[in-house]
Structure 1
């Protein structure tokens, strides 16, 4: 069983998948930072201070021991207050759309490069089947024996 497991792990597909997952995790972090630190502030600035993270609906009471802001989503969530955080959902959706668009651009670019590579690749003539070559040699030999040059 150990040998089968080693063969499975050492397959190219599994290694490629592992690399993709690791790079995907790093890429997600970059995309999240792009959205939270660059795009969302610009969107907020364009719409007059619009901040998606502050949009939520409180679904339960705030504990009596809570001393923080009643409009701070992160602090309320940490205090255990049940919240319907639709602003956070909007942010995550924008993250997803940005990530999907970037992946689309990468795949599109790779497909264009592959298409160009296929166009530039010289066409190698297919080798004739051995039976055709053999029949041609027999024909030529028979012609040579008869003295026929057709």
Structure 2
């Protein structure tokens, strides 16, 4: 689930797997979080999903699943930068933070709420001084044009 102006096509399902590395302290080895997501669209311009993350560290507890949604609102003009999306990510763990966001084109703002100090958030920077994520964050995204396999650089004519 990304806070963009795109949704899964109506009555279709999207599955994704992504991985990110983390390091808790300078003395520890790198860990890896692998997230598996399933998103579906029951009707046009809306999607709902479930994501489960698995921690590579044997002694770590796997994070609880998250439930998410995204609704596209009517555009405010023409073109990609007129697209408006409203969505949210809700964590099943009461210690972790939930996020609501609003984006116009590729630019948006998100709000982390709920949770307890030391809890995780899906978006935003973590502030070590207060042991919690920033409440409000800026979201910036872009969609790159698709490329044909094997296509690189300059094409001669």
More strand by percentage? 2
The higher relative CO (CA closer than 8 Å, separation ≥ 6) is in: 1
Does TM, scored on the shorter chain, surpass 0.5?
no
- The structure having more radius of gyration, on CA atoms, is 1
When the two structures are superposed, what TM-score results if normalisation uses the length of structure 2?
A: 0.19
When the two structures are superposed, what TM-score results if normalisation uses the length of structure 1?
A: 0.20
